[in-house]
Amino acid sequence: MPKQITSRSALILIVIAQFLGTSLWFAGNVAAPELELLLGSSGLLSWITSAVQLGFIIGTFLFAFGSISDRYSPSKVFFACALLAAASNIFIILFPLSLFSVLGFRFLVGFFLAGIYPVGMKIASDYFEKGLGSVLGFLVGALVLGTAFPFLIKALGAKISWEVILWVTSGLALVGGVMIGFLVPNGPFRKATTVFDLGLLPKLSKIKALRSASFGYFGHMWELYTFWAFLPLLILDLKNEPDFSSSDSFWTFAIIAVGGLSCAVGGLLSGKIESEKVALFSLAGSGFCGLILILFPEMPLSFVLPFLLIWGILVTADSPQFSTLVAQGVPAEYRGTALTLVNSIGFGLTILSIQLSQALSVYFSPRQFLGWLVIGPLVGIWGLKHFKK
């Protein structure tokens, strides 16, 4: 392992690596329009998104069940998973192209992302005993920027092929893995658990603080990835445009990426007020945006982008604060397992939300069915308060 470094240096490296690694997340979504033409398959966007989510769910569940990031060096886990995720992404190009191969390799990308996103949060929590809300704000902000980055690549060069997007994002993920594996040692506050405890997950489920934070996170996840996945279609629908242009790709990037900034700002605010207050404000605000879409589906063109930018700000700012509440609600030696388990369940809900939205898209336009994402924030706020009591 590399020599011990300062917590500030570790945070900088983790944030950069998290950004680079999670650029894999929506790479398939950006490539989806070209892949649909090549494969002669419509509706591929939702299936590609769900394949990654399903892989992430199964990966995080198995990582949590085995307490992988608590029993083994999280930096080594991050490095290995970044390498395997990058390879899985490239295999789409190297193997004969088919619907099965695309969905299969995107599933593997999601599976190994389970060793990047929650494990990155685990590494950060091992370096910071205090101010975790601010730290995770920067870390989740890096995830959001990484998610948005493929859309920026497409916006900068409308003729960039899907193969180039996959090569670039895989290269970035590999660099991120090397940074963590060779430059970031285990943190000073890490408390390893060496024993596999078959009854750990049931034990964690009985912790009231964990249940409360988890329920709020689940409500947040119901809306987040569905909003991101259908954002390009929502932009076209609200702007009444027939085709997705490079400028639309840029606006998709901007609306997702601005959420990364709001995660960082929310993290800084959590140092002055409670993480729970920041999370509740953000969750209620994003739910209100969904309600606006229900009440005012017809809006002036000049309102469309400001409205979506505000929604993009609010839909993500609560994520790091809920993760902070999860991490603070369990003993230090179980943080990695708790974070991974909650991620697994939360991302499971994203598949239900995305597939439900895909089914609704057959009968309704995006402006008509995406407003119902407000259900997530409403249930999340209720659950956060109910289980806290």
- Please report, in tens digits, the pLDDT of each residue of the chain (389 residues total): 566 788 888 889 998 998 899 889 888 888 888 888 888 877 787 788 889 989 988 998 888 777 777 778 889 999 999 999 999 999 999 999 898 999 999 999 999 998 998 888 888 878 886 777 788 888 888 888 888 888 887 787 656 788 888 999 999 999 999 999 999 887 776 766 655 455 666 677 677 777 888 889 999 999 998 999 899 889 988 988 777 677 888 899 999 999 989 998 988 888 788 888 899 999 999 999 999 999 988 888 889 999 999 999 999 999 888 888 888 877 777 777 787 788 888 888 988 998 899 889 888 888 888 989 999 999 989 888 766 66
CB-facing half-sphere around the CA of 369: CA atoms within 13 A: 18
What phi and psi values does residue 271 have, to the nearest 5 degrees? -75, -20
| pLDDT for residue 83 | 96
| pLDDT for residue 200 | 61
For residue 298, the tally of other CB atoms under 10 A from its CB is: 6
The amino acid at 72: Y
| pLDDT for residue 124 | 84
Q: What are the structure tokens assigned to 248, written together?
A: 């639309």
| pLDDT for residue 297 | 86
| pLDDT for residue 92 | 93
For residue 211, the tally of other CB atoms under 10 A from its CB is: 17
Over its C-alpha atoms, the chain yields an Rg (Å, rounded) of: 20
Distance of alpha carbon 190 from alpha carbon 123, whole angstroms: 8
Q: What is the DSSP string of 334-354?
A: GHHHHHHHHHHHHHHHHHHHH
| pLDDT for residue 257 | 92
What phi and psi values does residue 123 have, to the nearest 5 degrees? -60, -45
What phi and psi values does residue 117 have, to the nearest 5 degrees? -65, -65
Nearest CA to 104 out of 164, 40, 58 is that of: 58
| pLDDT for residue 323 | 84
Distance of alpha carbon 374 from alpha carbon 371, whole angstroms: 6
| pLDDT for residue 159 | 67
| pLDDT for residue 73 | 86
The amino acid at 134: S
Q: Domains (ranges, CATH) in the chain?
A: 7-191+198-388 (1.20.1250.20)
Q: What is the DSSP string of 146-184?
A: HHHHHHHHHHH-TT--HHHHHHHHHHHHHHHHHHHHHH-
Length of the chain: 389
| pLDDT for residue 388 | 66
Burial class for 276, CB neighbours closer than 10 Å (0-12, 13-18, 19+): buried
| pLDDT for residue 197 | 56
CA angle 164, 165, 167 (to 5 degrees): 60
Q: What is the pTM of this model?
A: 0.79
